[in-house]
Amino acid sequence: MTVSGVALLAISTLLGVFIGDLLGLALNVKANVGGVGIAMMLLIAARVWLTRHGGMPSGIKLGVEFWATMYIPIVVAMAAQQNVVAAMRGGPMVVITALSTVALCFAAVALIGRHGRDRKHEVEVEPELERGGKVIAGAFQPGDPEHAIAVAREV
């Protein structure tokens, strides 16, 4: 049943956001602390549990992956509702701060992203990564190979 996949996704999201709100409350912050990240971990845990207990029903997979394939269109809609006018009119201080922050953070990514790279492992997981990328890009074809490695390997 496709809707069970959508429901699984919805439950993970609701639970994650709720825990994020609780964390915010506990830390006395007026914001959600990592709710979406926690929801992602819950969904990953659900996937691992399902694959271990008799495989992944195709309905669940379809229900979740449909929303993953909608990711880029949703991001485009998100871009279309940013306050770009305000961002452009910010004045020199805003421009200087934003530009130098981004430049500095890019440089930091270059530095720490390189730390402890494991090329051999990367080559091993490449097919699975490629498949994930195709799903998120909305370019996954029904005939393409499935989670071949993820299923075979113990996680």
Partner 1 sequence: MLHMIEHVFKEQNLVAAFAVIGAVMWLSLAISKRFTAGRVHGSAIAILMGLALAYAGGLMTGGQKGLADVPVFAGIGLMGGAMLRDFAIVATAFEVDVVEARKAGLLGVLSLGLGTILPFIVGVAAALSFGYSDAISVTTIGAGAITYIVGPVTGAALGADSTVIALSIATGVLKAVIVMVGTPFVARMIGLDNPRSAMAFGGMMGTVSGVAGGLAATDPKLVPYGALTATFHTGIGCLVGPSIFYLGMRALMG
Q: How far is the CB of 22 from partner 1 (least distance, A)?
A: 12
The one-letter code for the residue type at 37 is G
With binding defined as CB under 8 A, does residue 19 bind partner 1? no
Residue 148 interacts with partner 1 (CB under 8 A)? Answer: no
Residues numbered 73-132 forming contacts with partner 1, rule: CB under 8 A:
73-102, 104-110, 112-118, 121-122, 125, 128-132
The span from the CA of 91 to the CA of 32, in Å, is 30
Distance, in Å, from the CA atom of 134 to the CA atom of 104, rounded to the nearest integer, reads 31
Query: Could you say which of 48, 55, 58, 146 contacts partner 1 (CB under 8 A)?
Result: 48
Total of residues contacting partner 1 (CB under 8 A): 95
* Smallest distance, partner 1 to C-beta of residue 143, A: 18
Binding-site member from 4, 7, 24, 57 for partner 1 (CB under 8 A) = 24
- Residue 141 binding partner 1, by CB under 8 A: no
DSSP three-state, residue 19: helix
Q: How far apart are CA 147 and CA 155, in angstroms?
A: 13
Total residues found in the chain within this entry: 155
The yes or no reply on residue 3 touching partner 1 (CB under 8 A) is no
Question: String of b and e for 7-21 (b: at least 16 CB within 10 Å)?
Answer: ebbeebbeebbebbe
2-26 and 35-52 helices cross at what angle (nearest 10)? 140
- By CB under 8 A, tell whether 64 contacts partner 1: yes
| Residue 1 binds to partner 1 (criterion: CB under 8 A) | no
